[in-house]
Amino acid sequence: MMWWNGKPLPIPSPPIHYEYRNIEGTNSGETLGGMYSKKIIARKEDLLVTWEGISEQECAVIGEINKATYGTLTYYSPAAGKFVSRTMHIENHTDEIYSADLNMGALGGTFNATVQFRQR
Task: Say if 10 falls within a structural domain.
Answer: yes
Task: Say if 8 falls within a structural domain.
Answer: yes
Its domain, for residue 48, covers 2-21+44-119
Alpha helices in 3-74 (DSSP H): 56-63
Letter string b/e over residues 67-91, b meaning 16 or more CB atoms within 10 A of that residue's CB: eeeebebbbeeeeeeeeeebebebe
Whether the full predicted model's pTM is greater than 0.75, yes or no, is yes
Q: Read off the pLDDT of residues 49-74 as tens digits, 9 standing for 90 and up.
A: 999 999 888 989 999 998 888 999 99
Give the C-alpha separation, 31 to 19, whole Å. 29
Give the C-alpha separation, 99 to 15, whole Å. 22
Q: Read off the pLDDT of residues 14-47 as tens digits, 9 standing for 90 and up.
A: 999 999 998 888 877 777 788 877 788 899 999 9
Give the C-alpha separation, 75 to 70, whole Å. 16
Task: Say if 98 falls within a structural domain.
Answer: yes
Task: Say if 39 falls within a structural domain.
Answer: no
Task: Say if 26 falls within a structural domain.
Answer: no
Task: Say if 33 falls within a structural domain.
Answer: no
- 82 in helix, strand or coil? strand
- At 103 the pLDDT is 67
Task: Say if 28 falls within a structural domain.
Answer: no
Q: Read off the pLDDT of residues 92-117 as tens digits, 9 standing for 90 and up.
A: 888 888 777 766 666 667 899 999 99
Task: Say if 38 falls within a structural domain.
Answer: no
Number of domains in the chain: 1
